[in-house]
Chain A
């Protein structure tokens, strides 16, 4: 085990300020972010003896094409921000200070911070709507009674009267198919709750910075 390394898994969804604060907490304790993957919610920190530990700032911005992305990154690079994670199609971009002279923030006024949360709101709504439509479409043909009698989700004749190995073999064999048939009814509501939460969060934040 590497004593100087910390690996953390933490889902932040759309609260960019919380994510920044989380990274900042480690920075104050003398850790620099080594790598991160926001899709896996994975953050790797390493202890450093350097007196200057760069701050990490996050922007959410859908970028139109590779050429525009180069232009966007150049603007940050020129003003002392090194791009450390993100892709032009991903929307979320992570930057790290290049040196002590770099400004502390990537947004110098409240209205541009409010605009970022408005962009996040659009993203959350665009994720929420298809989930709702999909759930509604699925519910039309779904027997909700199954949720109260999950045993009926299994079609193998006589499955529940089997014993021992015979039962487990048949049970485990059919389980993946049960998930394929019924998984959406469990996953879609969870996604709707998460995206709904994201929508509310970005509305609250964009309002906070709008006035």
Chain B
């Protein structure tokens, strides 16, 4: 299989991408990631801002029109969804390997 060089994703990146399947601004993403991970992954403000910048650069997310002039809204792109799919497939394989060992 020809695997994307961007894989594996970090837990943070994975959760941010999942959060952005619905549009949201920076702080909303932070809250959602915390909810999705049962409070295990807490992204601090500076890290969050950097992560968004990075994902925009990779074109996995994009900025969408926002009603609040002070808060930009972001949403996952098709490329972002594709990378999420690839990562999910990779994780599934990993889980399968572990399960075959009855872990």
Which residues of A does B touch, CB under 8 Å? 57, 59, 61, 67-68, 70-76, 78-79, 81, 95, 103, 105-109, 112, 115-116
Contact = CB atoms under 8 A, between A and B. Distances in A.
A74 B71 contact: yes
Interface secondary structure of B, over-half rule:
helix
Contacts of B8: none
Interface stretch (B14-22, B47-55, B78-86, B93-101): B47-55
A75 B51 contact: no
B69 A70 contact: yes
A72 B49 contact: yes
Given A74-B26, A75-B27, A79-B30, A61 B43 contact: no
B39 interface: no
B42 A78 contact: no
Given A70-B69, A109-B12, A75 B48 contact: yes
8 contacts: A67-B69, A76-B45, A79-B27, A79-B30, A79-B45, A79-B48, A108-B44, A108-B47
A75 B49 CA distance: 7
A90 B49 CA distance: 17
- By Cβ-Cβ distance, the 8 closest A-B pairs, closest first, are A78-B27, A106-B46, A75-B26, A108-B44, A112-B47, A79-B45, A70-B70, A76-B45
A42 to B, nearest CB: 24
Given A71-B70, A74-B26, A81 B47 contact: no
A71 B71 contact: yes
Contacts of A72: 49
Contact of A108 (B43, B69, B70): B43
A45 B71 CA distance: 32
Given A70-B70, A71-B72, A107-B44, 6 more contacts: A68-B72, A74-B70, A79-B27, A106-B44, A106-B46, A112-B47
A78 B12 contact: no
A96 to B, nearest CB: 12
